[in-house]
């Protein structure tokens, strides 16, 4: 037989071996990244539960389904096999119900990773930012889940917005739609040009035995950051934090910040007169032109930037600067309040660029809700919820790690082979996080990581066992 007839099978075999090798490399990268957490968990848990923890992380990445991606029965089918799904589901329940560990172990691991990222940014001479924002986990169909409290439904607001051109009756604007859910505060570390790194995803409730308020929980997160990092970072807030009470908190903690102010809120100008922010920004004094890349239009837009020295009546001894940025494409200008010195146009433009990075945390919430399906989790106990939410956050943090410069060829191989796109926008995006998760999910579904692909320190008998033939009582 001529060799030309063996070309295609040989190429297929070669591609199969390469795919298996790439799948194993991703598994080793995940285990190497989570190694400090595995060692910490091994000090508190049985080694079988540590192996279950590692396998659940892989299964969450592998099972890509918005509504069923975090169901314990579906994860059990991926963890072992469909025939052994009840046994695997029981292993997951034992892991989450174990009282020997808590979500604080995951928080500690994420904090250590964020600290390393901060040191890297400082070594590179980059400005480090901490983005803060709040969201909600909506559970409209849940009744017995512990920690539920009324939250504003962004889905209800989006679905009930007026649609003049639609063939339906536009609802009238009324009171906010409230549904059962859990409050969510996120903190992300990022540079002006770097990828984000998760610091903490904090969940709290306003009812039940764990009842608290938003201001208390937000101040708790910022106080912890202030105690550990001091003034090494700049905190970035949205308009929800505008006001005298939060300025007093930041002044008391001695933190650097940039927050978006509201035009109708009052400030004290240089003459000592209390006026609204939009009144202080009137006139062309200290007005310069700048450009900013606006992704919504796919081009640069021209900005008019002003800055004024101001202060707040409720905060004594704290000089503030009001930076106002406006563009003809915007419906209203930005009023940015900061305690960073703004004496020239370059410093004012830097404040605008800092606030533009705040959208990264909005994308973090969107990815965990839409891609990871975090709102469809079905766990009742409060501590169990925190553990499972922490594991989902680990998946998101690991995918962010894969977007780093290391292993670029391997990442491009996975994207081209397992999530091939022909569109220009999909192929040239700078952060293909959704494509990376889809490609990795398909790769691991075709070449499921086996026991021999995992490191030996996850268990002495791991190399001699396969995940598909485990006892129902194990783990």
DSSP 3-state percent helix, strand, coil across the chain (nearest 5): 50, 20, 35
Contacts of 25 (CB under 8 A, 6+ apart): 407, 410
Residue 110 pLDDT exceeds 70 = yes
Q: What is the DSSP string of 268-282?
A: E-TTS-EEEHHHHT-
Q: State the pLDDT confidence band at 84, using cuts at 50, 70 and 90.
A: confident
Residues in contact with 461: Cβ distance below 8 Å, sequence separation at least 6, in sequence order: none
Asked whether the predicted pLDDT for residue 1 surpasses 50, the reply is no
Residues in a beta bridge with 180? 150
pTM of the model: 0.89
Question: What is the predicted pLDDT for the residue at 131?
Answer: 97
Among candidate residues 312, 223, 216, 301, the one with its CA nearest the CA of residue 262: 312
The predicted structure's pLDDT at residue 466: 34
Query: Is pLDDT at 468 greater than 60 in this prediction?
Result: no
Section 209-220 average pLDDT: 92
Helix (H, G, I), strand (E, B) or coil at 122: helix
Average pLDDT of the segment spanning 360-374: 92
Q: Say yes or no to pLDDT of 158 above 70.
A: yes
How far is it, in rounded angstroms, from Cα 131 to Cα 366? 15
Which residues fall within 8 angstroms of residue 232, CB to CB, at 6 or more apart? 118, 122, 128
Mean pLDDT to the nearest integer, 320-345: 92
How far apart are alpha carbons 256 and 320 in whole angstroms? Answer: 11
Lowest mean pLDDT among 18-27, 84-93, 183-192: 18-27
Let me know: does 202 contact 187? Beta carbons within 8 Å: yes
Confidence of residue 397 (pLDDT cuts 50, 70, 90): very high
Phi, psi of 200 (to 5 degrees): -165, 140
pLDDT of residue 221: 95
* Residues 352 and 346: beta-carbon distance below 8 Å: no
Tell me which of 131 and 404 has the higher pLDDT. Answer: 131
- Exposed (0-12), middle (13-18) or buried (19+): which is 354, by Cβ within 10 Å? buried
Strand ranges inside 146-208, DSSP E = 149-152, 178-191, 197-204
DSSP at 84: G
Residue pair 129/192 in contact by the 8 Å Cβ criterion = yes
User: Do residues 198 and 397 make contact, with C-beta atoms less than 8 angstroms apart?
Assistant: yes
Residue 165 has a pLDDT of 63
Of the two residues 71 and 299, the one the predictor is more confident about is 71
Q: Is 364 left (phi over 0), alpha (psi -120 to 50) or beta?
A: alpha
133: enclosing H helix or E strand = strand 128-138
Q: 303: part of which helix (H) or strand (E)?
A: strand 299-310
Confidence class for position 184, pLDDT limits 50, 70, 90: very high
Residue 170 has pLDDT above 70, yes or no: no
Band of pLDDT at residue 467, cut at 50, 70 and 90: very low
Q: In this model, does residue 233 exceed pLDDT 90?
A: yes
Q: Say if residue 406 is exposed, middle or buried (CB neighbours under 10 Å; 0-12, 13-18, 19+).
A: exposed
Arithmetic mean of pLDDT over the chain: 85
- Say yes or no to pLDDT of 149 above 80: yes
Q: Exposed, middle or buried: residue 147 (CB in 10 Å: 0-12, 13-18, 19+)?
A: buried
Which pLDDT tens digit goes with each residue over 408-442?
667 777 777 888 877 777 666 666 888 889 989 99
Q: Which of 171, 198, 175 is nearest to 187 (CA)?
A: 198
Maximum mean pLDDT: which of 94-98, 341-345, 431-435: 94-98
Q: What is the pLDDT of residue 275?
A: 92
Range 200-218 average pLDDT: 92
Rounded Cα distance, 373 and 67, in Å: 6
Three-state DSSP class for residue 414: helix
Is 174's pLDDT higher than 90? no
Q: Tell me: the pLDDT tens digits for 11-40?
A: 777 777 888 888 888 888 899 999 999 999
Half-sphere exposure of 431 (CA within 13 A, CB side): 13
């Amino acid at each position: 037989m001529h060799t030309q007839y063996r070309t295609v099978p040989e190429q297929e075999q070669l591609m199969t071996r390469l795919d298996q090798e790439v799948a194993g490399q991703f598994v080793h990268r995940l285990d190497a990244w989570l190694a400090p957490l595995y060692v910490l968990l091994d000090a508190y848990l049985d080694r079988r539960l540590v192996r279950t923890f590692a396998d659940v992380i892989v299964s969450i990445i592998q099972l890509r389904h918005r509504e069923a991606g975090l169901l314990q029965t579906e994860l059990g089918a991926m963890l072992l096999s469909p025939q052994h799904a009840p046994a695997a589901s029981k292993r997951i329940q034992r892991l989450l119900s174990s009282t020997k560990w808590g979500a604080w172990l995951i928080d500690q691991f994420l904090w250590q990773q964020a600290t390393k990222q901060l040191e890297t940014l400082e070594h590179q001479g980059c400005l480090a930012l901490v983005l803060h924002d709040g969201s909600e986990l909506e559970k409209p169909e849940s009744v017995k889940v512990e920690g539920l409290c009324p939250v504003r439904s962004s889905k209800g607001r989006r679905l009930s917005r007026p649609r003049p051109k639609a063939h339906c009756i536009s609802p009238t604007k009324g009171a906010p739609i409230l549904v059962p859910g859990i409050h969510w505060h996120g903190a992300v570390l990022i540079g002006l040009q770097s990828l984000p790194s998760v610091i903490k995803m904090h969940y709290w409730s306003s009812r039940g035995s764990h009842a608290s308020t938003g201001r208390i929980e937000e101040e708790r997160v910022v106080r912890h950051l202030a105690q550990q990092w001091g003034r090494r970072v700049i905190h970035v807030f949205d308009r929800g934090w505008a006001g005298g009470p939060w300025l007093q908190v930041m002044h008391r903690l001695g933190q650097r910040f940039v927050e978006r102010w509201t035009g109708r809120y009052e400030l004290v100008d240089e003459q000592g007169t209390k006026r609204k922010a939009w009144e202080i920004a009137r006139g062309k004094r200290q007005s310069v032109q700048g450009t900013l890349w606006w992704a919504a239009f796919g081009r640069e837009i021209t900005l008019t930037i002003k800055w004024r020295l101001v202060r707040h009546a409720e905060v004594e001894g704290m000089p503030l600067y009001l930076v106002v940025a406006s563009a003809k494409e915007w419906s209203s200008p930005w009023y940015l309040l900061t305690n960073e010195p703004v004496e020239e146009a370059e410093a004012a433009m830097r404040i605008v660029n800092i606030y533009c990075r705040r959208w990264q945390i909005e994308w973090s919430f969107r990815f965990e809700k839409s891609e990871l399906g975090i709102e469809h989790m079905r766990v009742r106990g409060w501590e169990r919820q925190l553990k499972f939410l922490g594991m989902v956050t680990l998946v998101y943090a690991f995918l962010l790690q894969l977007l780093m410069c290391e292993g670029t060829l391997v990442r491009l191989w996975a994207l081209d082979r397992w999530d091939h796109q022909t569109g220009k926008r999909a192929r040239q995006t700078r952060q293909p996080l959704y494509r990376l998760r889809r490609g990795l999910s398909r790769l691991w579904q075709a070449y499921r990581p086996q026991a021999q692909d995992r490191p030996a320190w996850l268990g002495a008998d791991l190399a001699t066992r396969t995940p598909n033939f485990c006892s129902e009582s194990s783990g």
